[in-house]
Amino acid sequence: MDIARTPETPGGNVEMADAAPQPKAPPMIRRDDYRPFGWLVPETKLDFELGLESTHVTATLTVARNAKADPAPVIRLNGDGLEPESVLVDGVPATNWTMDEGDLMLPLTGEAHEIRIATTIQPSTNSQLMGLYASNGMLCTQCEAEGFRRITFFPDRPDVLSTYTVRMSGPKAQFPVLLCNGNRIAVGEGGDSHWAEWHDPWPKPSYLFALVAGDLVARNDSFTTMSGRKVELNVYVREGDLDRTEHAMESLKRSMKWDEEVFGREYDLDLFNIVAVSDFNMGAMENKGLNVFNTKFVLADPETATDADYDGIEGVIGHEYFHNWSGNRITCRDWFQLSLKEGFTVLRDQLFSQDMGSAPVKRIEDVRILRMAQFPEDSGPLAHPIRPDSYREINNFYTATVYNKGAEVIRMMRTMAGEERFRAGTDLYFDRHDGEAATCEDFVEAIEDGAGLDLKQFRLWYSQAGTPKVSVSLEHEGNTATLRLGQVVPSTPGQLDKQPMPIPLKLALFDRASGKHGGEQLVVLDKAADTFTFDGFAEKPVLSINRTFSAPVTIERDVPREDLVFLAAKDDDPFARYEAMQELMTGHLVAAVSGSLGDNDRAAARADIARALGAVIADATLDDLMRGELLLMPGQTHIAEQMLVADPGRIHAEREALKAAVGAVLAEDLVAMHARASTLPFTMDAAGKGARKVKTIALTYLAGADPERASALAASQYDSADNMTDRQGALMVLAGLGTAERTARLIDFYNRYQGNALVIDKWFALQASSLHPQAIEHVKALADHPDFTLRNPNRVRSLYMAFAGNPSAFHAADGEGYRMVADLILALDPINPQTAARFVPSLGRWRRIEPGRAALMRSELERVAAAPHLSRDTFEQVTRSLD
């Protein structure tokens, strides 16, 4: 994709002479163009005179020529929307600077200089939430990836590391708490104003800078590190939220301990602060010593947060904390290396959560996320390698591919090396590159050297996009089972020809009679096709493959339903059991949707599925958390992903019909399971969480078969709930039904939690993601609700992400859902481009949808593309989606 193409006009008109001039496409940045920066910035001093409307910033940079770079007579200081009020070089006003786009270009003649620049910024009008902005009367920052340039002129690139000293002053009453990276070294006051000075001894790139000023209170605790240093810990929130911070603090302490034990990583400052803010584009940010979090990933108590919220908090607190080593001590050379820190840190947070709770259930959840979010990305117009080659707007590359597939790629190295050797590899990586801005290549080399792996061919996982398809067949003759494997890496935009990659597959061959296997094995498929033989099988064994999801691939195999039923009941790898159950249901649904099933086949398949699910309900060896996983139906997106071109209406109908059939056959078992789980008192352990999970799953199946009965049961679960998991689960089921209980409980929920933004977000999301046939009308009405606003990303997501992820509503056959999302993108783009651009992929999947809807989706994308003054974010996503 070299130059952005102008959208095709309906008549195929290529003469654009009379058309309005198209705005110039933002430049394409290329990984191959990387050059080291011409200057070093050993020290940075910042002085903030804080105000919500207006903040004055004076930046003093010590710069010196970088001997390792080409000589640069002019220093480029990035800026975005800034005007220099004064520019001094070595104390003397400079007049020879120029502006290039937003950047300040300053000629420098000597070997080293001091540059001082003053700017004034307006936090309260910063609706992009990048740079310094106001949220609920406080001031906070988000600098990754390129937000620092909205605060002051600076070489805003991750390979420029500097030591920061920051002074900030402001009205004491408005900003009683003044926070920055590192340690507080001095404070003072005068009149109504006060100030604080902070110093961060660790050199860092500008994207890790953070500042917070506001009326905050903190939960305070401490952690003693492995070498005996005491670290002060604070979780800062708004007054009134303090009693919902205990779980965050406990999660932080567990993270610190875990990183010492599992990766040998110790914290390196005397202070670690977390601040929760309610206006935030992403989940959280790992700024050195001062993590800034979306409130969603801090605040929890049983009354207002679900079990999933608790898990999310633990995972994200871990993620940001782990970045202190994988991200901060070793950062990225350039943004193409983003997966260096994100893929690795996601793997670290996944392993942490596995260790804190049920490892198999966590693994299943992570694979489900990968399949729901990353597989569609990898098979669509926005597919990119985990280390991209080009971008126009880096914010568009904070993707499931860079994060989640990135984690899978490193997990494969761990699988091939084994835990111990992998640890030797990461030790070497941390050792070798501490204090540096590194590349993915540096990481792979360190693992190669430290773990003793040959990763030559494996590097293709960094450069090739697309989810490999692995074909599997098992033959049997005499005493020998022969496994034939093949792989195809599909073409993706800009990458038509792919090479075979090493694919590590864990497998086991089960003896049918005993239900046992002779040991799990690891085979690595590194060719387009290969054959593996296994002796000692008098009878054809049952194959269990890609156990624990050892490789992020799609397995394609013709497997008899009875083998899936066998594995679903007997496999000793819980993931493989889940997988067999999913395959059983997905296989049937794909066949049913494709119209290749006769009535008898359909009935037989449904009966097998119901029997297998019934066995799961009855299996006394299962805990409820795992039982819940085995009972889950595959999502509509996952089913659609199995088909070249999907009809969302048919997928929805077949899936609901299967749910109803199962719900009818198993009604009494489901009701009994619900009753059994309902007797357990509220606890946060696995038994308690599991009980809550299976209760709501029981309701969803029943709702398919017997709406009245399900509605009554859900209403009673709602009414007697003493926790948000039960209450939300019940309300989710009710929201999809047309019963009287529905309205009453929706009203009750709103009244009960009015004023609690995170819970009201749930109220919006439940309705926008519901199976109710009028969901689309509900979304329209909710967009006019007084509590709805485009200014708060959590609220926007709670309504519109939920809606865009609700296939039965979003894919309304008349295109109304597409129109609504396109309207949202156009309305949100001028306010918050980063969040607006995140809605484009839902429309961008048009090529994989049946032709009628595809045309409607495409025309909405074209409408967006034709809008004047699109942000770089939305421009890039829309043009890639139309290409």
Backbone angles phi, psi at 418, to 5 degrees: 85, 155
Say how far apart CA 843 and CA 846 lie, in whole Å. Answer: 6
Decide if 390 contacts 880 (C-beta within 8 A).
Answer: no
Residue 48: how many CA atoms within 13 Å on its side-chain side? 34
Say how far apart CA 506 and CA 28 lie, in whole Å. Answer: 40
Give whichever of 7 and 833 is closer to ligand ARG, judged by the CB atom.
833
Closest CA to 734 of 776, 700, 761, 768: 700
- Contacts with ligand ARG, 638-677, as mask; x by CB under 6 A: ----------------------------------------
Helix (H) or strand (E) holding 798: none
Among ligand ARG, Zn ion, none, the one that 822 touches (CB under a kind-dependent 5 to 8 A) is: none
**The dihedral sign for the CA sequence 313, 316, 319, 322:** negative
Q: How far apart are the first and last CA of the chain?
A: 8
Least distance from ligand ARG to the Cβ atom of residue 403, Å? 7
395 binds ligand ARG (CB under 6 A): yes
Q: What positions carry a catalytic annotation?
A: 320
Among ligand ARG, Zn ion, none, the one that 145 touches (CB under a kind-dependent 5 to 8 A) is: ligand ARG
- Contacts with ligand ARG, 307-346, as mask; x by CB under 6 A: ------------xx---------------------x----
Report the DSSP pairing between strands 216-224 and 39-49: unpaired
Among Zn ion, ligand ARG, none, the one that 284 touches (CB under a kind-dependent 5 to 8 A) is: ligand ARG
- Contacts with Zn ion, 331-370, as mask; x by CB under 5 A: -----------x--x-------------------------
Give whichever of 425 and 793 is closer to ligand ARG, judged by the CB atom.
793
Decide if 213 contacts 178 (C-beta within 8 A).
Answer: yes
What is the DSSP secondary structure assignment for residue 76, as one 8-state letter? Answer: E
Least distance from ligand ARG to the Cβ atom of residue 145, Å? 5
Among 144, 334, 393, 860, binds ligand ARG (CB under 6 A): 144
151 binds ligand ARG (CB under 6 A): no
Q: Which residues, in sequence order, are CB contacts of 521 under 8 Å at separation 6+?
A: 506, 507, 508
Say how far apart CA 823 and CA 827 lie, in whole Å. Answer: 6
Among ligand ARG, Zn ion, none, the one that 770 touches (CB under a kind-dependent 5 to 8 A) is: none
Say how far apart CA 615 and CA 609 lie, in whole Å. Answer: 10
The residues that bridge with 486 in the sheet, in sequence order, are 471, 529
Among 154, 398, 458, 803, binds ligand ARG (CB under 6 A): 398
Give whichever of 338 and 882 is closer to Zn ion, judged by the CB atom.
338
Decide if 798 contacts 759 (C-beta within 8 A).
Answer: no
What is the DSSP secondary structure assignment for residue 404, as one 8-state letter? Answer: I
Total binding residues toward Zn ion, as defined by CB under 5 A:
2
CA angle 85/92/123 to nearest 5° reads: 20
Least distance from ligand ARG to the Cβ atom of residue 830, Å? 18
Among 284, 332, 367, 662, binds ligand ARG (CB under 6 A): 284
Give whichever of 311 and 320 is closer to ligand ARG, judged by the CB atom.
320
Least distance from Zn ion to the Cβ atom of residue 161, Å? 19
393 binds ligand ARG (CB under 6 A): no
Give whichever of 642 and 871 is closer to ligand ARG, judged by the CB atom.
871
What is the DSSP secondary structure assignment for residue 845, as one 8-state letter? Answer: G
Least distance from ligand ARG to the Cβ atom of residue 570, Å? 39
Considering only residues 818-837, where is the footprint of ligand ARG by CB under 6 A?
A: 834
Least distance from ligand ARG to the Cβ atom of residue 320, Å? 6
Closest CA to 837 of 493, 400, 393: 393
Say how far apart CA 173 and CA 186 lie, in whole Å. Answer: 19
281 binds ligand ARG (CB under 6 A): yes
47 binds ligand ARG (CB under 6 A): no
Q: What are the distances in angstroms from CA 589 to CA 555, 583, 678, 825, 857?
A: 17, 10, 32, 33, 25
Residue 489: how many CA atoms within 13 Å on its side-chain side? 25
Give whichever of 407 and 677 is closer to ligand ARG, judged by the CB atom.
407
Least distance from Zn ion to the Cβ atom of residue 319, Å? 6
Among 4, 218, 248, 282, binds ligand ARG (CB under 6 A): 282
Give whichever of 346 and 666 is closer to ligand ARG, judged by the CB atom.
346
Give whichever of 333 and 727 is closer to ligand ARG, judged by the CB atom.
333
Say how far apart CA 150 and CA 853 lie, in whole Å. Answer: 41
Residue 56: how many CA atoms within 13 Å on its side-chain side? 6
Least distance from Zn ion to the Cβ atom of residue 224, Å? 26
Among 41, 106, 108, 145, binds ligand ARG (CB under 6 A): 145
Among Zn ion, ligand ARG, none, the one that 282 touches (CB under a kind-dependent 5 to 8 A) is: ligand ARG
Q: Count other Cβ atoms within 10 Å, centred on residue 136.
A: 14
Least distance from Zn ion to the Cβ atom of residue 691, Å? 33
Helix (H) or strand (E) holding 263: helix 246-263
Give whichever of 297 and 810 is closer to ligand ARG, judged by the CB atom.
297
Say how far apart CA 458 and CA 500 lie, in whole Å. Answer: 10
Total binding residues toward ligand ARG, as defined by CB under 6 A:
15
Least distance from ligand ARG to the Cβ atom of residue 395, Å? 5
Residue type, 216: L
User: What count of residues does the chain have?
Assistant: 883
What residues line the site for Zn ion (CB under 5 A)?
342, 345
Q: By the criterion CB under 6 A, which residues form the site for ligand ARG?
A: 142, 144-145, 281-286, 319-320, 342, 395, 398, 834
